[in-house]
């Protein structure tokens, strides 16, 4: 029951479009007597809930008047009165007839139906209501268990454009003859009422009586339905018969037993042939649609036709949709397209075989092939005699659907003429060509190119065939891409005169092959870009010639050529004159520069300040820059990005500040600029500068010119700095450079961009800059590159001052072999300590008065400057202490063994004099050999002085001896020394500095004699696995594992199980290390670093006793009796 009602509901939607006409005909002029009857007044005083719902709620959604709502209520009351116990069925039916916004119903992809409201005044007519009540009562009585659905099916009769009230009288008589199949008879009767062939005869008394229509129809329907409905296993099995009876070709004389029995067999044959994969209901609806088509002759509906239809339907249902190489069943989409096709007024039964073949050939097209065929049949220019073309297309086309679509585009053209059919046939029959392409080209020419009317279709077809055949043969495996791109060109009127010329076909094929050959892994993307170029409305024959010139004749990288042209054309400000510029660019550059030049032009064209009117200037630059075109264009782009050259729109064209020309030298601080557009003189001068830089920089020209382009963007760069005869920028970059250096321009950029540098472009600055660049150029390449890189970093320092540049240049002149260390030191000092007056005074004093490399290793560091930076990290060091340098020089000079020219030693002694005074300074030097006072905090030095001069001081505390090296090439121990201060809380600390192995032994021995056994020993020096370095002497300056016997003798100077702490890189890397050996020799706990690292701090207990040293990055190892102690995981 539920399935049948669902079917009935769907049919309601199908019939809803005819409601207005149907109800209108109920009260047509021939029924005026009925229409004049008024509804009887209702005896009810108030509306029942159903009256309220039908006549108020539903009508409220329409434009019903209050009078009409009242008439509705009276009609409902009368219907209830007349139907009595059957009123619930009656009201359900009547509610479906009362106008309301009927929902849009879509059945299996068919068109949407929407009923228009029927005429309300006629709907509530008393005579109609009484007839309806009579029919309902009879139907309920004769319907058995299916009373509700049978009453509901009365809609098929009433909601029909051919309906007249007399139909209810006929239906009442049919009901009397029904035998348990009244519902199905009502459906078939509704189909017949809707058949226009019965419109003029059905209501004729003669027709009804003479034919014995009621008996004939009842007998016919009974055969169709079968005894007790045996032919209708499912409710939808009645669909084909219903469709056939709606067919306008179905005639009254067909209402006979023979016809009915034949059709019952047809229906069975159809069901038996339909593939089990096809939904049975969908299949029956599709067959019904087909049988309703006026082109189907009911007399020719037989089993063979049913089987053909089923075969075509099966093929359609097997269709798939392919998405990203994955196939999906197209299901209802394919069936919907198939239904639309078989309902097409031009569709004929003999086309079923074609449909089956079409779908089979295009199995992966899903519904597309059927949709295209449906549209083709709807084309007003398509005639049945053209169907032979479709058969030939199926046989010849690689993609028949695409070919039919192309044929449709031809027939749709307003320029199509029936006389062109011969030409179309020629294109379809042409061997070696897919009709999908030939017909689409023909259609595009008709639709877009507006061909000369004097050219016959046949002549055009011949040209198309010749051209496509040539392209197909020339491009080989690239043919599909070539033809696809060629199709885009056929939509362009500008190409109409070129397309079919032999030269064009040759060049086009060569372009496609070049793209395929040179694009490599980017082949697909390049063809996509080329297709985009071809589709662009901006693409012209001139642009095509340019592509051929660059990608074919010049044999450039077609991947880049196509992409760059595509991106240039995609800009909103594209100018057709670009084609000439690109051609000029291709002709003026060799292979090595051409694609770079194209990229530079693309970048320039994308510059927001670029205007198409500037193409003249660009052309002049190309003419004058030779192979330096890429750099000239980049530099010109830099100028356009510089706010000092910002374009301004004035009048009808762009204006821009010109570079100053030689005859317009600035006067004073005022510079006047020509506000006209860039002219030939500018381009000539600018090209001269670019070529000049390239010539002077030789192999480094590319790098220098690239940075020159960046220089043009800098906001500190002004027009007056760039003249053909300039003695400022040109001399700075080229003429005064000595040996040209590619790093000069990036450093200059950093100086210009740094607001702190306050660089002024002048000859004086150029001279200073040249000195620095020349010094770098004299060094080994690696050192020069490192120095230039660090100098570039210095140039960008925010604490930079102009005076520092003078000091840097002076310093690297004095220290040419250590320019890396010199500039690094400047960077470190500026970063950590700024550029205040004291810093500047110290830097100036050191650079001007002392050798900056008096005790350094070449290639490492400039000792004094690095030492100054390290010293300033000591919180107790103040820059004003360097005022004591002269006093320090005197004190240092009093010791023959010290070098009074060593600025680092002088700064250390100056610090000591400032915080300790001369007496203590001298004492610590003479007793403890301390030279690098700046390594230690003032408090540490004071404590050391007490320990050295007062033997009773802290004599009950354990003795800790620290020995620091005198060979600190990278100033590492300026930090390590500051960690000793906290050890004085628990230990009696004695500190020495030593520069040799022998001095180390002497100091340890002397200390034990003076202070007693040593509890802990700290040794600081640059190290390796087997060595701790103290001084400059080879071997004599090291304590290493080869000294095992001498070191073993030292054991008696230590307590039992002493602590030994090495501050030396890699000195504790494994059990072969110097730390492991000392722990074994002295029965000590020994610590050291297992890699290149440094000491961070000492971990102490609450009394200040050493727990362990902590090294950077947890890089420490501990040994006991020569064995590595496992460290806890961090």
Helix 352-361 and helix 303-317, axial crossing angle in degrees, nearest 10: 20
Residue by residue, DSSP assigns 384-423 as GGGHHHHHHHHHH-SSHHHHHHHHHHHHH-TT--GGGHHH
Question: 3-state SS string over 46-109?
Answer: CCCHHHHHHHHHHHHCCCCCHHHHHHHHHHHHHHHHHHHHHHHHHHHHHHHHCCCCCCCECCCC
Quote the tokens at residue 26. 């109920």
Instruction: Say how many residues make up the chain.
Output: 1130
Q: How many CA atoms does the CB half-sphere of 884 hold within 13 Å?
A: 22
Count of domains forming the chain: 5
State the average pLDDT for the chain.
78
pLDDT at 1 over 50: no
Do 653 and 788 lie in a common domain?
no
Q: Which residue has the tokens 């510089």?
A: 642
**Pairing relation of β-strands 1116-1120 and 1106-1111?**
unpaired
pLDDT at 963 over 90: yes
Residue finishing a domain among 840, 862, 884? 862
Do 1030 and 1107 lie in a common domain?
yes
Q: How far apart are CA 263 and CA 237, in angstroms?
A: 12
Least confident of 161-170, 537-546, 644-653, 661-670: 661-670
Do 638 and 776 lie in a common domain?
no
pLDDT at 860: 37
pLDDT at 12: 37
Q: How many beta carbons lie within 10 A of that of residue 711, not counting itself?
A: 22
The segment with the largest mean pLDDT, out of 66-80, 113-127, 324-338, is 66-80
**Can you say whether the dihedral through the CA atoms of 456, 458, 460, 463 is positive or negative?**
negative
**Residue predicted with more confidence, 104 or 540:** 540
What is the DSSP secondary structure assignment for residue 577, as one 8-state letter? T
pLDDT at 39 over 50: no
What are the φ/ψ torsions at residue 52 (nearest 5 degrees)? -60, -45
> Do 442 and 424 form a contact (C-beta atoms < 8 A)?
yes
- pLDDT, average across residues 622-634: 86
pLDDT at 764: 64
pLDDT at 258 over 70: yes
Strand partners, 648: 655
Does the residue 336 lie in any domain?
yes
Do 11 and 136 lie in a common domain?
yes
What are the φ/ψ torsions at residue 297 (nearest 5 degrees)? -85, 115
- pLDDT, average across residues 530-548: 83
CATH number of the domain within which 1009 lies: 3.40.50
- pLDDT, average across residues 79-84: 89
Do 710 and 742 lie in a common domain?
no
pLDDT tens sequence across 807-816 = 777 777 666 6
Least confident of 344-348, 612-616, 849-853: 849-853
Least confident of 557-571, 853-867, 880-894: 853-867
The segment with the largest mean pLDDT, out of 473-477, 533-537, 1048-1052, is 1048-1052
Question: 3-state SS string over 266-319?
Answer: HHHHHHHHCCCCCCHHHHHHHHHHHHHCCCCCHHHCCHHHHHHHHHHHHHHHCC
pLDDT at 650 over 80: no
Does the residue 463 lie in any domain?
no
pLDDT at 688 over 90: no
**Pairing relation of β-strands 1116-1120 and 1123-1125?**
antiparallel
pLDDT at 802: 62
pLDDT tens sequence across 882-912 = 777 889 989 999 999 998 878 889 889 999 9
Confidence of residue 41 (pLDDT cuts 50, 70, 90): very low
pLDDT at 721: 62
pLDDT at 783: 55
- pLDDT, average across residues 557-583: 79
pLDDT at 918: 94
The segment with the largest mean pLDDT, out of 678-687, 845-854, 862-871, is 862-871
**Residue predicted with more confidence, 778 or 654:** 778
Confidence of residue 992 (pLDDT cuts 50, 70, 90): very high
What are the φ/ψ torsions at residue 328 (nearest 5 degrees)? -125, 140
The segment with the largest mean pLDDT, out of 40-44, 110-114, 769-773, is 769-773
pLDDT tens sequence across 425-465 = 888 888 888 888 888 888 888 888 655 544 567 788 888 88
Do 689 and 769 lie in a common domain?
no
Q: Which domain holds residue 831?
A: 736-862
pLDDT at 1064 over 90: yes
The segment with the largest mean pLDDT, out of 12-21, 685-694, 792-801, is 685-694
**Can you say whether the dihedral through the CA atoms of 375, 379, 384, 387 is positive or negative?**
negative
Does the residue 322 lie in any domain?
yes
Q: How far apart are CA 920 and CA 917, in angstroms?
A: 6
Least confident of 127-131, 298-302, 316-320, 764-768: 764-768
pLDDT at 101 over 50: no
Residue finishing a domain among 818, 846, 862? 862
pLDDT at 998: 92
Do 271 and 192 lie in a common domain?
no
pLDDT at 670 over 60: no
Do 15 and 118 lie in a common domain?
yes
Percentage of residues in the chain having pLDDT higher than 70: 76
Does the residue 904 lie in any domain?
no
**Residue predicted with more confidence, 397 or 864:** 397
**Pairing relation of β-strands 988-994 and 959-965?**
parallel
Least confident of 31-45, 195-209, 284-298: 31-45
Residue finishing a domain among 355, 377, 399? 377
Quote the tokens at residue 584. 């000029």
Cα torsion through 310, 311, 315, 318, rounded to 10: 60
Do 204 and 259 lie in a common domain?
no
pLDDT at 729: 54
Q: How far apart are CA 441 and CA 435, in angstroms?
A: 10
Do 791 and 689 lie in a common domain?
no
Does the residue 1121 lie in any domain?
yes
Burial (CB < 10 A; 0-12, 13-18, 19+), residue 52, is middle
pLDDT at 1099: 93
pLDDT at 1044: 92
Q: What is the largest CA-CA distance in the chain?
A: 153
pLDDT at 801 over 70: no
Confidence of residue 396 (pLDDT cuts 50, 70, 90): confident
Does the residue 985 lie in any domain?
yes
pLDDT tens sequence across 713-747 = 776 666 656 555 544 455 555 544 444 455 566 66
Q: How far apart are CA 1071 and CA 1117, in angstroms?
A: 10
Do 27 and 2 lie in a common domain?
yes
Quote the tokens at residue 843. 């830097």
Do 20 and 164 lie in a common domain?
yes
**Residue predicted with more confidence, 993 or 579:** 993
pLDDT at 1117 over 90: yes
Does the residue 1047 lie in any domain?
yes
pLDDT at 44: 45
**pTM over cut 0.85:** no
What is the DSSP secondary structure assignment for residue 202, as one 8-state letter? T
Does the residue 285 lie in any domain?
yes
């Amino acid at each position: 029951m539920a399935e049948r009602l669902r079917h009935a509901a769907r049919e309601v939607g199908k019939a809803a479009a005819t409601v207005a006409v149907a109800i209108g005909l109920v009260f047509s002029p021939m029924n005026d007597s009925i229409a004049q009857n008024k509804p009887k007044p209702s005896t009810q005083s108030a509306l029942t809930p159903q009256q309220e719902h039908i006549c108020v709620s539903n009508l409220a959604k329409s434009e019903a008047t209050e009078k009409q709502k009242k008439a509705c209520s009276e009609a409902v009351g009368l219907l209830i009165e007349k139907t009595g116990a059957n009123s619930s069925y009656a009201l359900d039916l009547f509610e479906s007839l009362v106008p309301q916004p009927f929902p849009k119903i879509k059945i299996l992809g068919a068109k949407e139906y929407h009923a228009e409201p029927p005429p309300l005044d006629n709907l509530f007519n008393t005579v109609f209501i009484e007839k309806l009540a009579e029919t309902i009562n009879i139907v309920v009585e004769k319907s058995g268990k299916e009373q509700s659905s049978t009453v509901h099916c009365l809609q098929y009769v009433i909601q029909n454009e051919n309906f007249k009230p007399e139909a209810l009288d006929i239906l009442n008589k049919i009901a009397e003859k029904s035998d348990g199949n009244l519902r199905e008879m009502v459906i078939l009767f509704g189909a017949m009422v809707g058949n226009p062939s019965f419109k003029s005869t059905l209501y004729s008394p003669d027709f009804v009586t003479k034919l014995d229509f009621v008996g004939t129809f009842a007998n016919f329907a009974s055969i169709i339905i079968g005894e007790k409905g045996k032919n209708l296993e499912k409710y939808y099995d009645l669909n084909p018969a219903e469709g056939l009876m709606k067919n306008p070709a179905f005639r009254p004389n067909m209402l006979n037993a023979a016809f009915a029995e034949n059709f019952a067999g047809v229906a069975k044959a159809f069901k038996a042939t339909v593939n089990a994969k096809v939904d049975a209901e969908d299949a029956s609806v599709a067959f019904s649609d087909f049988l309703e088509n006026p082109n189907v002759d009911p007399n020719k509906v037989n089993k063979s036709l049913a089987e053909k239809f089923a075969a075509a339907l099966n093929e359609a249902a097997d269709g798939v949709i392919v998405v990203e190489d994955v196939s999906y069943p197209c299901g209802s989409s394919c069936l919907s397209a198939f239904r639309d096709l078989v309902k097409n007024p031009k569709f004929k039964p003999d086309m079923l075989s074609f449909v089956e073949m079409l779908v089979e050939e295009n199995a992966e097209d899903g519904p597309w092939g059927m949709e295209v065929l449906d549209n083709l049949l709807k084309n007003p220019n398509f005639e049945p005699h053209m169907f032979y073309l479709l058969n030939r297309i199926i046989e010849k086309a690689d993609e028949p659907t695409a070919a039919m679509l192309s044929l449709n585009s031809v027939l749709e053209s307003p320029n199509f003429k029936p006389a062109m059919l011969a030409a179309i046939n020629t294109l379809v029959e042409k061997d070696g060509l897919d009709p999908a392409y030939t017909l689409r080209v023909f259609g595009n020419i008709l639709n877009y190119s507006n061909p000369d009317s004097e050219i016959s279709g046949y002549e055009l077809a011949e040209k198309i065939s010749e051209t496509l055949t040539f392209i197909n043969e020339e491009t080989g495996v690239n043919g599909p891409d070539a033809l696809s791109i060629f199709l885009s060109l056929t939509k362009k009127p500008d190409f109409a005169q070129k397309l079919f010329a032999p030269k064009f076909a040759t060049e086009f094929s060569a372009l496609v092959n070049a793209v395929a050959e040179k694009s490599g892994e980017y082949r697909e993307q390049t063809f996509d870009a080329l297709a985009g170029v071809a589709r662009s409305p901006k693409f012209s024959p001139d642009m095509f010639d340019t592509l051929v010139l660059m990608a074919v004749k010049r044999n450039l990288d077609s991947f880049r050529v196509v992409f760059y042209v595509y991106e240039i054309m995609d800009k909103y400000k594209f100018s057709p004159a670009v084609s000439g510029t690109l051609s000029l660019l291709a002709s003026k550059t060799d292979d090595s520069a051409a694609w770079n030049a194209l990229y530079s032009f693309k970048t320039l064209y994308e510059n927001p300040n670029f205007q198409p009117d500037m193409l003249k200037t660009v052309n002049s630059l190309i003419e004058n820059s030779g192979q330096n075109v890429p750099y000239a264009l980049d530099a010109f782009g830099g100028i356009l990005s510089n706010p000092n050259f910002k374009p301004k729109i004035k009048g009808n064209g762009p204006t821009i500040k010109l570079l100053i020309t030689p005859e317009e030298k600035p006067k004073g601080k005022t510079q006047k600029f020509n506000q006209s557009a860039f002219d030939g003189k500018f381009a000539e001068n600018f090209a001269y500068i670019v070529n000049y830089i390239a010539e002077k920089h030789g192999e480094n020209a590319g790098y220098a010119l690239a940075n020159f382009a960046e220089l043009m963007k800098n906001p500190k760069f002004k027009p007056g700095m760039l003249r053909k005869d300039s003695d400022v920028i040109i001399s700075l970059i080229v003429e005064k450079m000595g040996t040209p250096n590619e790093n000069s321009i990036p450093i200059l950029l950093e100086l210009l961009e740094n607001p702190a540098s306050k660089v002024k472009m002048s000859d004086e600055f150029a001279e200073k800059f040249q000195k620095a660049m020349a010094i770098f150029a004299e060094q080994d390449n690696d050192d020069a590159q490192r120095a230039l890189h660090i100098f570039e970093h210095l140039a960008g320092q925010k604490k930079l001052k102009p005076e520092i540049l003078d000091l840097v240049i002076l310093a690297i002149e004095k220290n040419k072999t250590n320019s890396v260390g010199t500039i690094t030191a400047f960077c470190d000092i500026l970063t950590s300590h700024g550029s205040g007056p004291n810093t500047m005074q110290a830097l100036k004093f050191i650079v001007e008065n002392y050798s900056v490399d008096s005790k350094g290793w070449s290639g490492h560091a400039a000792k004094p400057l690095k030492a100054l930076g390290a010293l300033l990290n000591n919180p107790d060091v103040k820059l004003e202490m360097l005022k004591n340098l002269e006093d320090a020089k005197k004190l240092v000079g009093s010791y023959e063994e010290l070098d009074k020219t060593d600025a680092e030693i002088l700064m250390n002694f100056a610090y000591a004099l400032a915080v300790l005074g001369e007496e203590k300074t001298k004492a610590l030097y003479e007793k403890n050999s301390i030279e690098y006072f700046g390594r230690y905090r003032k408090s540490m030095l004071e404590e050391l002085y007490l320990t050295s001069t007062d033997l009773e001081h802290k004599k009950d505390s354990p003795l800790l001896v620290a020995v620091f090296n005198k060979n600190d090439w990278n100033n590492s121990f300026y930090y390590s020394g500051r960690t000793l201060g906290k050890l004085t809380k628990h230990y009696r600390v004695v500190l020495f500095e030593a520069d040799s192995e022998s001095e180390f032994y002497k100091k340890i021995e002397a200390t034990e004699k003076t202070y007693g056994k040593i509890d802990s020993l700290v040794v600081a020096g640059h190290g390796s696995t087997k060595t701790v370095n103290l001084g400059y002497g080879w071997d004599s300056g090291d304590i290493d594992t080869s000294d095992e016997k001498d070191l073993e003798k030292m054991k008696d100077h230590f307590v039992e199980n002493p602590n030994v702490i090495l501050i030396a890189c890699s000195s504790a890397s494994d059990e072969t290390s110097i730390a492991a050996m000392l722990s074994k020799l002295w029965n000590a706990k020994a610590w050291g670093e297992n890699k290149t690292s440094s000491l961070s701090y000492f971990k102490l207990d609450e009394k200040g006793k050493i727990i362990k040293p902590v090294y950077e990055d947890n890089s420490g190892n501990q040994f006991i009796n020569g064995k590595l102690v496992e460290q806890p995981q961090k």
